[in-house]
Structure 1
Amino acid sequence: MRSQSLTRRDLLDAVVVVLLWGVNFVVMKFALRDFTPLQLGAARYVFAVLPLALFVRPPGIPWKWVVLYGLFQGVGQFGFLFLALQIGMTAALASVILQTQVFFTALFGFVLLKERASRPLQLGMLLAGLGLSCFAINYLLPGARGAATVAGTTLAGFMLTLAAAAMWSASNIVARRVQQGGADYSPTAFVVWSSSVAVLPFVLLSLAFDPESTRWQWTGARASSWLAVAYLGWVATLVGYSLWTGLLKRHPANRVAPFSLGVPIVGLTAGMLVLGEGITPWQWGGVALVVAALVCV
């Protein structure tokens, strides 16, 4: 049933998601030391599916929603994000830029679900646009472009991270459409079975595009990389997205999405402290504007 107010349980769920997903970006960087982005995508979702798929029944909703959620949230969001982190995006900045999904969600929610954007949300979208402009300046101005490259980001990495944010917002809309249909389903079952959708596309894409020399490199992966995959599959995906989907089940998308405000704070801190990542002045401006935009919401 649709709820208008947030309970203590909802707030606790949101805090747990923030912590899990904030650390998530550093964990991805560790895993990408031994896996290609497509291999990591396949491994993440194999862990997310097994062994729970053996014990959890499929959710009682039309399979088209399960497939769409798996493609948007799995193949789309994390396919783009893993590739971005490999070719030119830091964990710290990815945690910020990915939160523009809040505003993609509001835009898609207005177009597809007729959820009207409030004035604070409209102001937030304006500030977010200015923030993205600050990020873009790093790649447009000659002097700033060199600094951005030194800081570990590229224009391609930036654009791929934005694409990942758009895919995340699309999965939010799918979850909301399921809720609007009045279906009574288990968020955990929804996440487990939608995760199974992502495995085969990642495997096929890896076979098609990964260099042949990398096909068997997973056999020599370090234990820390496998632990990172386990975290991504079991903790960040099963626990994180089950809680997130549960929130979307109980509340409108534009009410839930802003709780991701805390993710960039955790992600920035973890990226700089654990990985020693740097941020340029223009990027700090973009961070400040995006966070201000989220605060407005």
Structure 2
Amino acid sequence: MTERRSTLDGLAVSLLLTCCVLWGLNQVATKVALADFPPFTQAALRSAGAALLVLAWARLRGIALFTRDGTLPGGLLAGALFALEFGLIFFGLQFTTASRMVVFIYLAPFVVALGMPFVARSEKLKPVQFVGLAVAFGGVAAAFAEGFGQPSAGERQWLGDACGVGAALVWGATTLSIRSTRLAGAAPEKTLLYQLGLSALLLGMAAPVAHETWPQQVAALSWGALLFQTVIVTFASYLAWFWLVRHYPATRIASFTLLTPISGLVAGALVLNEPLTPRLLLALATVVLGLVLVNRR
């Protein structure tokens, strides 16, 4: 498919649902691997491994990735934003739970929804959709305030939560940068390679600056969590995501991903035994309600 669709069809919905489940599990996998891999080291390894997979995939399918097509400025911007986003997520998960992180980073659709009218007038939100975004924002704000009064993850929970909010802002900015530059017409593989390659370099440079060292021993569970992040999430699901961004309305697909916190909360509670506080559950409910309102016809 080469044309841009104005609505989400069955294929888009199926891919989005799969991505939502995988991305919810991704925060749990990151938290598990942090037991052995420091945050920036882990993020750099994930990006580097996935970049190699993208190169192999493109070579297998005969996709040209290094032709001059004017995408370099946009690619460098998207790559730098991608590195910042995941640097914030991996660093923040040291101080907050995976369940909380996955809720906060999915504030990204607010950024996309508010910014897309400046990129594509056809994606301007209607009043009821703004109400949906406001409802979701209110619930998330209540959950964030919990980090100052009754933190469930430790005294520095507010710092981890703030990193999640910052990552959401950067993720939204990344989506907008892709749609507003020559990357909008580039192959998904090229868009992803820009981000993976540059983030591997920048995060790898950040690791020694943060005085991170290679772990002496790594448990099999940590290797498995890193492999899951690299192959399934960062390579396969991100390729699907950038293909969706290229062919479907960015505001609607970004808002649809608000379903991700459901799988993230469930995975955090079942796998990591993380607490589900009333405010966090309220945030989840308002996020889902906001999703329904934003995607109303």
Bin the TM-score by the shorter chain: 0.7 to 0.9
Alignment partner, residue 163 of structure 2: 160
- Residues 24 and 139 (structure 1), Cα distance of their counterparts in 2 relative to 1, 3 Å cut: closer
Q: How does 1:117-196 map to 2 (within 5 A)?
A: 117-140=125-148, 145=149, 147-150=150-153, 154-178=157-181, 183=185, 185-196=186-197
Please report the TM-score for the alignment, with normalisation by the length of structure 1.
Answer: 0.88
Please state how far the C-alpha of 1:280 moved relative to its aligned partner. 2.1
Please report the TM-score for the alignment, with normalisation by the length of structure 2.
Answer: 0.88
Alignment partner, residue 293 of structure 1: 290
Q: How does 1:264-279 map to 2 (within 5 A)?
A: 264-279=261-276
Please state how far the C-alpha of 1:110 moved relative to its aligned partner. 3.2
**What's the CA shift string for 1:225-280, capped at 9, x where partnerless?**
12211211221111111111111101221121122132111111111011110022
Matched, 1:16 2:18: yes
Do the aligned partners of 1:90 and 1:153 also contact (CA within 8 Å) in 2? no
Structure 1 distance, partners of 2:288, 2:254, is 13
Alignment partner, residue 85 of structure 1: 93
Please state how far the C-alpha of 1:282 moved relative to its aligned partner. 2.4
After superposing on structure 2, the runs of 4+ consecutive aligned residues of structure 1 that deviate more than 6 Å are none
Specify the code of the residue in structure 2 equivalent to 1:216: W
Root-mean-square deviation (Å):
2.2
> Is there any run of 5+ residues in structure 1 with no aligned partner, and where?
none
Of 30, 33, 46 in structure 1, the residue corresponding to residue 32 of structure 2 is: 30
Please state how far the C-alpha of 1:169 moved relative to its aligned partner. 0.6
Structure 1 distance, partners of 2:184, 2:53, is 29
Structure 2 distance, partners of 1:198, 1:137, is 31
Alignment partner, residue 223 of structure 1: 220
Matched, 1:65 2:74: yes
Aligned length: 284
- Residues 190 and 201 (structure 1), Cα distance of their counterparts in 2 relative to 1, 3 Å cut: same
- Residues 152 and 275 (structure 1), Cα distance of their counterparts in 2 relative to 1, 3 Å cut: farther
- Residues 290 and 6 (structure 1), Cα distance of their counterparts in 2 relative to 1, 3 Å cut: closer
**What's the CA shift string for 1:68-87, capped at 9, x where partnerless?**
222212x121110111111x
**What's the CA shift string for 1:50-85, capped at 9, x where partnerless?**
244256231654112222222212x12111011111
SS at match of 1:149: coil
Please state how far the C-alpha of 1:111 moved relative to its aligned partner. 4.2
Structure 1 distance, partners of 2:255, 2:44, is 29
Percent identity, aligned pairs only?
Answer: 26
> Is there any run of 5+ residues in structure 2 with no aligned partner, and where?
59-63
Please state how far the C-alpha of 1:220 moved relative to its aligned partner. 2.0
SS at match of 1:159: helix
Do the aligned partners of 1:80 and 1:164 also contact (CA within 8 Å) in 2? yes
Structure 1 distance, partners of 2:155, 2:190, is 38
- Residues 152 and 281 (structure 1), Cα distance of their counterparts in 2 relative to 1, 3 Å cut: farther
Do the aligned partners of 1:192 and 1:238 also contact (CA within 8 Å) in 2? no
Specify the code of the residue in structure 2 equivalent to 1:276: N
